Amino acid sequence: MKGRPLSDKPIRVTVWGENRHEKLEEQVAKIYPDGMHTTIAEGIVANLGDRVRVRTATLDDPEHGLTEEILADTDVLTWWGHAAHAEVADEVVERVHRHVLSGLGLVVLHSGHWSKIFGKLMGTSCTLRWRSAHDRELVWTVNPTHPIARGIPHPMIIEEDEMYGEFFDIPAPDELVFISSFSGGEVFRSGCTFRRGHGKIFYFKPGDQDYPVYHHEGVRKVISNAVQWCVTDQPTRSLPTLLRYETNDFYRGHGYQGPLENQA
Amino acid sequence: MKGRPLSDKPIRVTVWGENRHEKLEEQVAKIYPDGMHTTIAEGIVANLGDRVRVRTATLDDPEHGLTEEILADTDVLTWWGHAAHAEVADEVVERVHRHVLSGLGLVVLHSGHWSKIFGKLMGTSCTLRWRSAHDRELVWTVNPTHPIARGIPHPMIIEEDEMYGEFFDIPAPDELVFISSFSGGEVFRSGCTFRRGHGKIFYFKPGDQDYPVYHHEGVRKVISNAVQWCVTDQPTRSLPTLLRYETNDFYRGHGYQGPLENQA
Amino acid sequence: MKGRPLSDKPIRVTVWGENRHEKLEEQVAKIYPDGMHTTIAEGIVANLGDRVRVRTATLDDPEHGLTEEILADTDVLTWWGHAAHAEVADEVVERVHRHVLSGLGLVVLHSGHWSKIFGKLMGTSCTLRWRSAHDRELVWTVNPTHPIARGIPHPMIIEEDEMYGEFFDIPAPDELVFISSFSGGEVFRSGCTFRRGHGKIFYFKPGDQDYPVYHHEGVRKVISNAVQWCVTDQPTRSLPTLLRYETNDFYRGHGYQGPLENQA
Amino acid sequence: MKGRPLSDKPIRVTVWGENRHEKLEEQVAKIYPDGMHTTIAEGIVANLGDRVRVRTATLDDPEHGLTEEILADTDVLTWWGHAAHAEVADEVVERVHRHVLSGLGLVVLHSGHWSKIFGKLMGTSCTLRWRSAHDRELVWTVNPTHPIARGIPHPMIIEEDEMYGEFFDIPAPDELVFISSFSGGEVFRSGCTFRRGHGKIFYFKPGDQDYPVYHHEGVRKVISNAVQWCVTDQPTRSLPTLLRYETNDFYRGHGYQGPLENQA
């Protein structure tokens, strides 16, 4: 957005990576010797420079690296997970969920579609059809004025990636930004925005661990655009709350004591 | 919809009611001597006659009256709860959730906005502002071609109801059908559709237990329209599933064995 | 929709065809010896039988066969045009536009995307990328509970059709029902609903004159589903109108006399 | 959006005003002695300072002040008109329309709902119900993470303004940001975004000429936020165009020669 004040502080980004395939599978380690999260983080810095302050966190960190303190110090969280979705502690999922509804931005990448946090925010199964068979993926922009599509080729060509196909069981996105096609003929709503509570969410499909997708310049640019878009416009992080308001008092709500007690 | 075959079977409706206020509070029992669920069910029958087959179920029934058998025999479930949301067993919530994603229609009424099942389907806090102070509610249609608005006065006047006001923390609805205003000046997105998985959902705001709202002819008509709209167009109930599809085989997916095993 | 009364009258459908390619191009005449409009009409009758009453009209009829009388006697109009968009009289376009805003359903087919009436209703250029080169088209359902997708294979395979690709310059559809991919790798939002005024509109992509697309069973079924969906739920046809309403008089608006006179 | 480069140029804003009521009606001239457009322009400068470069144009300027040169030098156009919509030359409307589809941002204010340009972009009648009777207007935010709602009180109170009520005959907005209620009980979708072609559009309801609404600090802030939001993310202004693309040549489209010639 043009015309912003010059005093803006850097966006605080936490790149979360499951970091298991890289340890267990040689071919993934070759593509991402320092872990996928490191490559993703580098792509954001390469695009946004000192407009961001990026850190990484992984599944095996204490509390998966997503403590209350870290989340409170994060404007936008990016999420890549796959083999170990089930190992993410429910308590951490609750915490991230609460932060998203309170204003944390969330960029969900590729197989993160089946993460606990994405499912919890969407309310659906988030299932799809898939095939890892070296399909070429073409990413087409269907919302050319969206900030997340800024500077992205139309189409953007990814030489090889996993196929994800419809039906993708998500709520109809607030904004559909990208649709992908695959060599095999499948299509996928591959760039979708969602607003939930005070938080902004972007799902972006590319990025199977078996292909060097996060080294792709355009993919890195989309993620960087999404990081910028996902910053909430709320001045402070606050969870939407149920409050009673008296007639003609629009600004001072008071707490809820339970439906039956309240009326007694 | 005009032009439907004559052979259509009746819609199987289950009206679920918490049925606690009616037992504990005299003023509610006076308005709804047989329980709110009974009045809601009667309103549907009054409007749809033999085009529906309606039963009721309540919190205190075994498994809250929502067994696998009952749900499998239900096309559309309506849900009113308030004081005892927390008493609804998580297992039953999971079951209803699975049925909705598989094609069960769901009409969520009034304070059902804070039920476990609605929150799970929306992914948000579903909080709002409220006041029970005899506000007059005006229900305005903003989507006049929607089947749920068919035959509803514009505005529809409800002499007294609880005030629910924005911000209502829900995902942007797929279709916004009604907006309500209240004597106090608040507004509320009071009629909203959502599609989740293979299921269709309608949230409708009117209906606090302290006012005779479910005796209101227009309110009963909206609920009846919603029951018709919520019937899924899927021929059989099926849960969206993650499946692998080989290249050029579009119709026969096979099961998923887990990301790491699968690639080994 | 289940549970409809048995007394419903047949849907009155007018299938409009430009009917020029069939006269001027031998290969088109071979596929559609009685005109494309006739084949489209037959497909609707084959699916809906006596639930519809179908007539056809073409460009060369007086007033293009779209007189005030015909339109007033039509519930849903389907539109196929291509070479001769410019020959459609502006007066007829205005008339159809007024009827759509008043409640006429409209199914716009294939190259109808560039018709005057579709452009006037959308407000955009309705341009796209294209290629007529025997691409295979796969039509994927992304909204499986939508009535227009009822009974349609996923994907639906059309052996040969013209390619239409994104960016398709339309407003974001109210509901996205289908996305197509083509052999060449392009994608297209190929099934889109729009509500405008009191009218319901469906755009459906398949159907280039050079291929036998309107003989395709699935395509015919989609069009038939769309005809049913496009019937408005307004009881009578009425144009939205600017009216003044006095305080506390919600139901009796009065006419507008112009802003300056009015205030005098 | 945080994290933007510091080198951004000022947004070029043209504030268009009909400027007739101010000349013909004493009470309007008292509120807006230099014209409504001047007050609107001042509000934008007051909020955005040197992040904008604002000029004004009025109906009685040659070509209404909206020449090709001016439009090409404008990032965002704001539009207020009322009594003299009909006097706006169709040629100028076409020109503005072409610029919007090519990337010009457009903020339509209050009675601009019935301007030729808004109607042309929406495709609907854009009618509503109204009453100028000193209603209090409350503007409620229903999309709290939207940049246009940033810093706006919830609700925002406008002591007196004209009532606009539903049904407002517009396409369902891409994003609904504000809903207003009025003393009389009516509601209105008062803040709506639309994307058309490469252009971004915001409609904002407040601002009848008989009340000092454009002196209201919150209203001025909304307009200023909208000016920032409406800047397109396209690097250069370009009209969406129909182009043919050969198989495997995704980037070089060629012109269209007409359907029949083309195939000959």
pLDDT, position C258:
65
Sign of the CA dihedral C70, C72, C78, C82? positive
Please report where in the chains the tokens 């006041």 appear, as a residue: B131
D25 interfaces chain C, CB cutoff of 8 Å: yes
B146 interfaces chain D, CB cutoff of 8 Å: no
C181 and C137 in contact (C-beta within 8 Å)? yes
Rounded CA gap, C264 and A34, in Å? 76
Are C24 and D260 in contact (CB < 8 Å)? yes
Q: Which residues on chain C are in Cβ contact (under 8 Å) with B6?
A: 6
pLDDT, position C257:
67
D100 and D196 in contact (C-beta within 8 Å)? yes
- Half-sphere exposure (Cβ direction) of A65: Cα atoms closer than 13 Å: 18
What residues does B137 pair with on adjacent strands?
Answer: B158, B182
C186 interfaces chain B, CB cutoff of 8 Å: no
**CATH class of the domain comprising C11-125+191-229:** alpha beta
Residues in chain A, total? 264
Are A132 and B263 in contact (CB < 8 Å)? yes
CB-nearest partner of B171 from A114, A171, A243: A171
- Using omega within 30 degrees of 0 as the cis cutoff, is the peptide bond preceding A153 cis? no
- Half-sphere exposure (Cβ direction) of D160: Cα atoms closer than 13 Å: 7
Are C246 and D131 in contact (CB < 8 Å)? yes
Please report where in the chains the tokens 């003989």 appear, as a residue: C215
Q: Which residues on chain B are in Cβ contact (under 8 Å) with D168?
A: 142
Nearest Cα to Cα of residue B209 among B94, B39, B14, B48: B39
Per-residue pLDDT of chain B (264 residues; tens, 9 = 90+): 444 444 479 999 999 999 999 999 999 999 999 999 999 999 999 999 999 999 999 999 999 999 999 999 999 999 999 999 999 999 999 999 999 999 999 999 999 999 999 999 999 999 999 999 999 999 999 999 999 999 999 999 999 999 999 999 999 999 999 999 999 999 999 999 999 999 999 999 999 999 999 999 999 999 999 999 999 988 889 999 999 999 999 999 998 766 665 443
**Residues B106-125, buried b or exposed e (16+ Cβ, 10 A)?**
bbbbbbbbbbbbbbbbbbbb
Are C260 and D83 in contact (CB < 8 Å)? yes
In the three-class reduction of DSSP (H, G, I as helix; E, B as strand; rest coil), residue A177 is classed as: strand
In the three-class reduction of DSSP (H, G, I as helix; E, B as strand; rest coil), residue A62 is classed as: helix
pLDDT, position D234:
82
What residues does C81 pair with on adjacent strands?
Answer: none
Rounded CA gap, C22 and C210, in Å? 10
Sign of the CA dihedral C90, C94, C99, C100? positive
**What is the 8-class DSSP label of residue B44?**
H
Sorted by sequence, the CB contacts under 8 Å of residue B144 that are 6+ apart come out as B154, C198, C233, C234, D167
Rounded CA gap, C189 and C181, in Å? 9
| Domain map (residue ranges) of chain C | 11-125+191-229
- What are the angstrom distances between the C-alpha of B35 and each of A191, B23, B58, B78, B160? 47, 8, 10, 14, 19
| Chain D: closest CA distance from residue C47 (Å) | 31
| Mean of per-residue pLDDT scores for chain C | 94
Retrieve residue C229's tokens: 């969906």
pLDDT, position C255:
87
Retrieve residue B223's tokens: 């609920």
Angle at D176 between CA D174 and CA D182, to 5 degrees: 145
Rounded CA gap, D148 and D42, in Å? 18
At A128, give phi and psi (nearest 5°). -165, 180
Q: For the purposes of burial, counting CB atoms within 10 Å of the CB of A255, is it exposed (0-12), middle (13-18) or buried (19 or more)? A: exposed
D63 interfaces chain C, CB cutoff of 8 Å: no
B90 interfaces chain C, CB cutoff of 8 Å: no
Q: How far apart are the first and last CA of chain C?
A: 52
Q: Which run of H or E residues covers position A262?
A: helix A259-263
Nearest Cα to Cα of residue C15 among C36, C33, C32: C36
Nearest Cα to Cα of residue A194 among A205, A203, A185, A181: A203
**What is the 8-class DSSP label of residue C161?**
E
Are D240 and C125 in contact (CB < 8 Å)? yes
Which tens digits make up the pLDDT trace of C137-190?
Answer: 999 999 999 999 999 999 999 999 999 999 999 999 999 999 999 999 999 999
Q: Which of A127, A142, A175 to mutate to test the interface with C (most CBs of C within 10 A)?
A: A142
Are A140 and C166 in contact (CB < 8 Å)? yes
At D141, give phi and psi (nearest 5°). -90, 125
Rounded CA gap, B22 and B18, in Å? 9
Nearest Cα to Cα of residue B99 among B4, B204, B236: B236
CB-nearest partner of C195 from D172, D174, D242: D172
- The residue in chain B having the minimum alpha-carbon distance to the alpha carbon of residue C157 is B250
Residues of chain D below pLDDT 50: 1-7, 262-264
For residue A235, pLDDT beyond 90: no
- The residue in chain C having the minimum alpha-carbon distance to the alpha carbon of residue D194 is C171
Nearest Cα to Cα of residue B146 among B226, B48, B43: B226
Rounded CA gap, B153 and B218, in Å? 8
A185 interfaces chain C, CB cutoff of 8 Å: yes
Q: Note the ipTM here.
A: 0.95
Residue type, C124: T
Size of interface B-C (CB pairs under 8 A): 101
- The residue in chain C having the minimum alpha-carbon distance to the alpha carbon of residue B230 is C1
Which tens digits make up the pLDDT trace of D31-76?
Answer: 999 999 999 999 999 999 999 999 999 999 999 999 999 999 999 9
CB-nearest partner of B144 from C9, C198, C231: C198
| Chain A: closest CA distance from residue B212 (Å) | 17
Q: Which of B154, B181, B186 to mutate to test the interface with D (most CBs of D within 10 A)?
A: B181
B173 interfaces chain D, CB cutoff of 8 Å: no
Nearest Cα to Cα of residue A135 among C131, B248, C187: B248
- The residue in chain D having the minimum alpha-carbon distance to the alpha carbon of residue A144 is D198
A168 interfaces chain C, CB cutoff of 8 Å: yes
The helix-helix angle for D217-230 and D36-48 (nearest 10°) equals 70
CB-nearest partner of A142 from C141, C154, C189: C189
Are C167 and A144 in contact (CB < 8 Å)? yes
Q: Which residues on chain C are in Cβ contact (under 8 Å) with D20?
A: 260
The helix-helix angle for A36-48 and A217-230 (nearest 10°) equals 70
Checking DSSP bridges between strand B175-182 and strand B187-196, what pairing results, if any? antiparallel
Rounded CA gap, C155 and C139, in Å? 5
Rounded CA gap, D197 and D185, in Å? 36
B199 and B103 in contact (C-beta within 8 Å)? yes
C21 interfaces chain D, CB cutoff of 8 Å: yes
Nearest Cα to Cα of residue A217 among A157, A162, A127, A175: A157
Q: Which residues on chain D are in Cβ contact (under 8 Å) with A10?
A: 2-3
What is the pTM for the complete model shown? Answer: 0.96
A22 and A238 in contact (C-beta within 8 Å)? no
D210 and D27 in contact (C-beta within 8 Å)? yes
Based on C-alpha coordinates, what's the Rg of chain C?
A: 19
D227 and D105 in contact (C-beta within 8 Å)? yes
Residue type, B213: V
Q: Which run of H or E residues covers position B98?
A: helix B90-102
D173 interfaces chain B, CB cutoff of 8 Å: no
What residues does C201 pair with on adjacent strands?
Answer: C106, C194
**What is the 8-class DSSP label of residue A114?**
G
Q: How many CB atoms lie within 10 A of CB A90?
A: 9
D2 and A52 in contact (C-beta within 8 Å)? no
- Using omega within 30 degrees of 0 as the cis cutoff, is the peptide bond preceding D155 cis? yes
Q: Tell me which of A1-10, A87-96, A169-178, C220-229 is least confident.
A: A1-10
pLDDT, position A259:
64
Sorted by sequence, the CB contacts under 8 Å of residue A88 that are 6+ apart come out as A59, A64, A81, A115, A116, A117
- What are the angstrom distances between the C-alpha of C7 and each of B15, C51, D186? 27, 11, 37
Rounded CA gap, D19 and D38, in Å? 10
- What are the DSSP calls for B170-233, one per residue? SPPPSEEEEEEEETTS-EEEEEEEEEETTEEEEEE----TTTTGGG-HHHHHHHHHHHHHHS-S
% chain D with pLDDT above 70: 94
In the three-class reduction of DSSP (H, G, I as helix; E, B as strand; rest coil), residue C221 is classed as: helix
Nearest Cα to Cα of residue C11 among C97, C74, C79: C74
